[in-house]
Structure 1
Amino acid sequence: MLDVRRMQVLRAVVTSGSVTAAATNLGYTPSAVSQQVAALEKQAGIELLERVGRGVRPTEAGQLLSEHAAVISRQVSDAETALADLRARATGLLSIRYFATAGATLVAPALAGLRREHPGLRVDLRMTDPQDPLTEVREGGADLAVVVRPRGRPHEGVHLVPLLDDPYRAVLPAGHPLAAKRVLDLTDLADEPWIRGDGPGPCLDPVIEGCAAAGFSPNFVLESDDHATTQGFVAAGLGIGLIPALGLTHRHPEVVVRKVRGPEPVRVIQAAVREASSGRPALQALLAALRDVASR
């Protein structure tokens, strides 16, 4: 196999016209240049240079290898330029995972803006496992997942970036007596039948913990799979619900929504990023876009 480095030495000799000039340009000694060319001739099995007066000129084989060395040099330069471009810009494939309410309100507008600025970016976008959203990120199956996680709870191999505090709101039937109040104390809801819109996990935890802090446990009489269904059950008078603000972008016309206090349950929405990938420009651009949407 021909040595590419020796081919570049040969090219320097051919373009400069002498071993001495090539040595000066390369920072080598003339003997070192001669040794490299001799070794390349041995590899090629053919003479590459012939003497002409005080200089040298390439044989047909030497000219051929010199031209190929020039092509290799251009390709290496192009590769370095492409790598520098990849490091500087958001390109390539991003694997993103999200949960339902974050998809429409955070992820969709963030990706729309990101693609306008970085049209070369491709995405693999899928729903995450609500019970275990971090495993895929930690194991490299996804670059980023939008998750609900408390602050200050570290996870090995995953970096959590806070995006948004999403407060829960009380959702009541339009004719409910408590609808007359602008702000409800959480204890106002202690004796009400409740509709549970989330299964056990990080989205239900703030509700359970908030009610416990207020001194009661909610009486769940029905369960639903999503916030729209919860609103439908509430509108039908089957109970009341606590729904995060992001889940109320489309409100049922027959419910009223009120702030709660004492305490106000809040879920913390964060971006879970695989630590090994956190330096990628594409990932940093996505995080910036998510933070921008969350701030608005």
Structure 2
Amino acid sequence: MQVLRAVVTSGSVTAAAAHLGYTPSAVSQQVAVLERETGIALLERVGRGVRPTAAGRLLAERTALISESLAEAETALADLRAGRTGRLSVRYFSSIGPTLVAPALARLRRDHQDVRVDLRLIDPADPLAEVERGEADLAIVVRPQRGGREGIHPVHLLDDPYLAALPADHPLASRRVLDLADLAGEPWIGSEPPGPCLDIMLDACAAAGFTPAFVASSEDYATALGFVAAGLGVGLVPRLGAAGRRNGVALRRVRRPEPVRTVHAAVREGTTAQPALRTLLDALKEAAGRSATGSSARRPGSL
């Protein structure tokens, strides 16, 4: 079809052959093959040259459109490969939004301005399902050390330890570090919905020899800390979740054991070579590093 287009554009088989680097005979043969395939004459002789029939003109015009579309597709693919355009679907859980997701997406926007981001909260029932199905490119998850999922590549971001949250006037608030068993006889405020984070807390309490007696529960840390500040009980809150802590709450380190949630970015295997996704992963690790360094310089205390 490109040969036909060259003949129509130049007005002769000889000129088309010179432009394409073929012999005139080869050009004539290819046009003849195309006429047999289409079942209609595409060229007619005029003096020493040729001109297209109606069918030849139509086919040459369509070839030009196809060539233009192919060129646009190649350019779009090149932009996608280079990370200049495209779309990233990201899933996250709310307590890491301000410290990890926001700064990481700010860097992504600077480095890949035309990449659109679809950002949504993760499905707590199955946080990796969308990544497995290819509906999300990256999910930020709490991943207890219980094995992985086939085809999913976890990238460790940080370890987020839980802190004891106490009313500021609680007798235990005078200590800098608490044994988890010190909280065994206290009324407890729940801060986690059912899922891996709650499992981490309950497993740690079981290892310390007790089951917490919950007198109130909440699925967000701000509300849980409000209950603690009101003197209703004590609880555990992850360090990142305590960033918006309230007046009247003392936060203390916990040991024996220290509950820790491990935060990972989960991607499909083989996708990390994509420039925009690679940038986002690097930015998440950078934000996680800043968060860990900043928190180590601040000792949890009363507000």
Match of 2:28 among 13, 16, 34: 34
In structure 2, distance between residues paired with 1:135 and 1:109: 25
What residue number does 2:159 align with?
A: 165
In structure 2, distance between residues paired with 1:288 and 1:15: 53
The change in CA–CA distance for 1:227 and 1:21 in structure 2 (over 3 A counts) is: closer
What is the identity, as a one-letter code, of the residue corresponding to 1:77? A
What is the identity, as a one-letter code, of the residue corresponding to 1:283? L
The change in CA–CA distance for 1:185 and 1:16 in structure 2 (over 3 A counts) is: farther
What residue number does 1:216 align with?
A: 210
TM superposition shift of 1:80: 1.1
Give ranges in structure 1 of 5+ residues lacking alignment.
1-6
TM superposition shift of 1:91: 2.4
Give ranges in structure 2 of 5+ residues lacking alignment.
291-303
1:271 equivalent to 2:265? Answer: yes
In structure 1, distance between residues paired with 2:284 and 2:193: 26
Counterparts of residues 180-219 of structure 1 (less than 5 Å): 180-219=174-213
What residue number does 1:46 align with?
A: 41
TM superposition shift of 1:51: 8.1
CA displacement, residues 72-106 of structure 1 (integer Å, 9 cap, x when unaligned): 43442332122111111152222222212122322
What TM-score comes out, normalization by structure 1 length? 0.83
TM superposition shift of 1:140: 3.0
Match of 1:259 among 253, 269, 288: 253
The change in CA–CA distance for 1:90 and 1:197 in structure 2 (over 3 A counts) is: farther
What residue number does 1:59 align with?
A: 51
Match of 2:223 among 229, 235, 244: 229
In structure 2, distance between residues paired with 1:72 and 1:135: 39
In structure 1, distance between residues paired with 2:11 and 2:50: 11
RMSD of equivalent CA atoms: 2.9
Counterparts of residues 113-192 of structure 1 (less than 5 Å): 113-151=107-145, 153-192=147-186
What residue number does 2:244 align with?
A: 250
In structure 2, distance between residues paired with 1:20 and 1:122: 47
The change in CA–CA distance for 1:47 and 1:188 in structure 2 (over 3 A counts) is: closer
Instruction: Answer yes or no: is the 8 Å Cα contact 1:168–1:243 preserved in 2.
Output: yes
Aligned partner of residue 197 in structure 2, secondary structure: coil
CA displacement, residues 218-242 of structure 1 (integer Å, 9 cap, x when unaligned): 3323211211111111111111111
Instruction: Answer yes or no: is the 8 Å Cα contact 1:90–1:283 preserved in 2.
Output: no
Instruction: Answer yes or no: is the 8 Å Cα contact 2:184–2:210 preserved in 1.
Output: yes
Instruction: Answer yes or no: is the 8 Å Cα contact 1:23–1:33 preserved in 2.
Output: no
In structure 2, distance between residues paired with 1:48 and 1:31: 15
Q: How many residues align structurally? A: 286
Instruction: Answer yes or no: is the 8 Å Cα contact 1:99–1:147 preserved in 2.
Output: yes
In structure 2, distance between residues paired with 1:281 and 1:205: 36
What residue number does 1:238 align with?
A: 232
What is the identity, as a one-letter code, of the residue corresponding to 1:138? E
1:87 equivalent to 2:81? Answer: yes
What residue number does 2:282 align with?
A: 288
The change in CA–CA distance for 1:47 and 1:242 in structure 2 (over 3 A counts) is: closer
TM superposition shift of 1:10: 2.9
Instruction: Answer yes or no: is the 8 Å Cα contact 1:109–1:293 preserved in 2.
Output: yes
In structure 2, distance between residues paired with 1:280 and 1:89: 7
CA displacement, residues 12-69 of structure 1 (integer Å, 9 cap, x when unaligned): 556596559838955x67654322111334537335264877xxx4415467865764
The sequence identity of aligned pairs, in percent, is 59
